[in-house]
Amino acid sequence: MSKPKNAFYAQSGGVTAVINATACGVIETARKYKNKIGKVYAGRNGIIGALTEDLIDTSKENKRAIAALRHTPSGAFGSCRYKLKSLEENRREYERLIEVFRAHDIGFFFYNGGGDSADTCLKVSQISQKLDFPIKAIHVPKTVDNDLPITDNCPGFGSVAKYIAVSTREASFDVASMAKTSTKVFVIEVMGRHAGWIAAAGGMASDKDTDIPIIILFPEVAFDRKKFVARVDQLVRKHGYVSVVVSEGVKGPDGKFLSDQGLRDAFGHAQLGGVAPVVANMVKEDLGLKYHWAVADYLQRAARHIASKTDVEQAYAVGRAAVRMALKGDNAVMPAIIRKSSRPYRWTVEKAPLDKVANVEKMMPKNFISRDGFGITEKCREYLAPLIRGEDYPPYRKGMPRYVRLQNKPVKKRLNTRFEV
């Protein structure tokens, strides 16, 4: 029997609280099939590591370190924002990938990312055949944006959703306590430039047990200051306070981001602000209400300490499934999460062809947003509920979560060629 081919794994784009759980799934599963997969090499800083032949030898990491990836947020091998151009525009890059893969006897390509990386993965699969170095290219889904098609949801999203739902509930309790004499409006800004998935999760802060007045500002709904302020006024009159969950991607009627207010400091320098202070300021100007605002930013997608158990399990499962699919001979596919039932929640992982995944953005269904544009529907709740279910706490030492840092030892270079990215 010939020596088994090695595997290449890379993390792409914005990282999440559970992308390392996927890496854990890939590496632990590959290690179970040592007769079929050689070593797993990871790209240092994502695909850039492949282009520059900067590979990490994950076989140097012990079992315990790899297991600890499951509870460690961020990208253990480094990620990058680097979109490969189309084959026509930059064939050189794809050829370079194959050159590096050939030099290191790579037979499996696992690319862990969002829509762009699905496209790259598909192209790598195509060109590898043309260049007569066929490899099994599997895209492994990851994105807090939750915008990949076919898969019911994307690993990474469930944990952000849980973080935003929990944080919004907690802050709402706080503002409710203060509302009599002080803050009456709390604004939290959340990620999601194109779609309101994460903002929708803020709606889960309120449920039948714990009713909370919440206004959600979705990127899907053109912002109308008058309507918004009227709704704030109405809810503050009724409940004494209100929480506003605003997506960073909210646009005004002019189609421009609401956050892009052309802010200038006293010296006339441009200042980049978030959308939360802009919205909060409107509440003050129009209603004279005292506000507080928060911008969660990276905290939301890095918050492994409050990750969703469903999300961690699915992140691991798609990593494991990716390896199994590759071993079965699948190529140019993505392990997709298929929901079989919401109550009780049942799901499986099935393969989706990459040409159906690449370059397709899944938007929030219209019937997930309430008619007034400020809330979520029962359908949306049914969708989100299982994704935030369960806690999966990391281990702690002296009060702090123990997140692993790998040694990330380099694989010896075999090519003498430099490649500029």
Residues forming the active site: 145
Q: Which of 339, 385, 413, 419 binds a copy of itself (CB under 8 A)?
A: 385
Residue 335: count of CB within 10 angstroms of its CB: 29
Give the DSSP H/E element, type plus range, for residue 41.
Answer: strand 40-43
Within 296-380, strands assigned E span: 333-341, 346-353
Q: Which of 22, 29, 74, 153 binds a copy of itself (CB under 8 A)?
A: 74
Q: How far is the CB of 267 from a copy of itself (least distance, A)?
A: 9
Q: Which is nearer to a copy of itself, 187 or 352 (CB)?
A: 187
* Binding of a copy of itself by 72 (CB under 8 A): yes
* Binding of a copy of itself by 199 (CB under 8 A): no
Segment 243 to 262, residues that bind a copy of itself, using CB under 8 A: 261-262
* Binding of a copy of itself by 222 (CB under 8 A): no
Which range, of 106-114, 132-140, 200-208, 367-375, touches a copy of itself by CB under 8 A? 200-208
Within 218-345, strands assigned E span: 242-247, 263-264, 270-271, 291-295, 333-341
* Binding of a copy of itself by 150 (CB under 8 A): no
Q: How far is the CB of 38 from a copy of itself (least distance, A)?
A: 26
Segment 263 to 302, residues that bind a copy of itself, using CB under 8 A: 263-266, 269, 271-274, 276-278, 280-281, 285, 292-299, 301-302
Q: Which of 393, 407, 409, 417 binds a copy of itself (CB under 8 A)?
A: 393
Q: For 227-250, give the secondary structure using H, E and C.
A: HHHHHHHHHHHHHCCEEEEEECCC
Buried b / exposed e along 256-286 (16+ C-beta atoms within 10 A) = ebbbebeeeeeeeeeeeebbbbbbbebbeee
3-class DSSP state of 18 = coil
The string of DSSP codes covering 46-59 is: THHHHHTT-EEEGG
Which range, of 77-85, 215-223, 224-232, 358-366, touches a copy of itself by CB under 8 A? 77-85
Which range, of 121-129, 130-138, 352-360, 391-399, touches a copy of itself by CB under 8 A? 391-399
Segment 319 to 348, residues that bind a copy of itself, using CB under 8 A: none
Q: How far is the CB of 342 from a copy of itself (least distance, A)?
A: 12
| Among candidate residues 207, 208, 203, the one with its CA nearest the CA of residue 244 | 203
Which range, of 108-116, 123-131, 166-174, 406-414, touches a copy of itself by CB under 8 A? 166-174
* Binding of a copy of itself by 204 (CB under 8 A): yes
3-class DSSP state of 35 = coil
Which range, of 28-36, 56-64, 78-86, 371-379, touches a copy of itself by CB under 8 A? 78-86
Using alpha carbons, list the distances in angstroms from residue 56 to 21, 78, 100, 109, 162.
Answer: 18, 10, 13, 14, 32
Q: Which is nearer to a copy of itself, 26 or 150 (CB)?
A: 26
Q: Which of 32, 62, 170, 234 binds a copy of itself (CB under 8 A)?
A: 170
Q: Which of 30, 245, 303, 317 binds a copy of itself (CB under 8 A)?
A: 303
What span, in angstroms and rounded, lies between the C-alpha atoms of 345 and 375? 23
* Binding of a copy of itself by 48 (CB under 8 A): yes
Which phi and psi (to 5°) does residue 339 adopt? -85, 125
Residues 6+ apart with CB under 8 A from 14: 79, 81, 114, 143, 144, 301
Judged by CB under 8 A, the number of residues near a copy of itself is 90
* Binding of a copy of itself by 97 (CB under 8 A): no
Side by side, the strands of the sheet bearing 40-43 are: 55-57, 40-43, 6-11, 106-113, 136-141, 333-341, 346-353
Residues 6+ apart with CB under 8 A from 325: 136, 138, 333, 335, 351
Q: Which is nearer to a copy of itself, 230 or 421 (CB)?
A: 421
Q: Which is nearer to a copy of itself, 80 or 118 (CB)?
A: 80
Burial of 415 (0-12, 13-18, 19+ CB in 10 A): middle
* Binding of a copy of itself by 50 (CB under 8 A): no
Q: Which is nearer to a copy of itself, 262 or 329 (CB)?
A: 262
* Binding of a copy of itself by 11 (CB under 8 A): yes
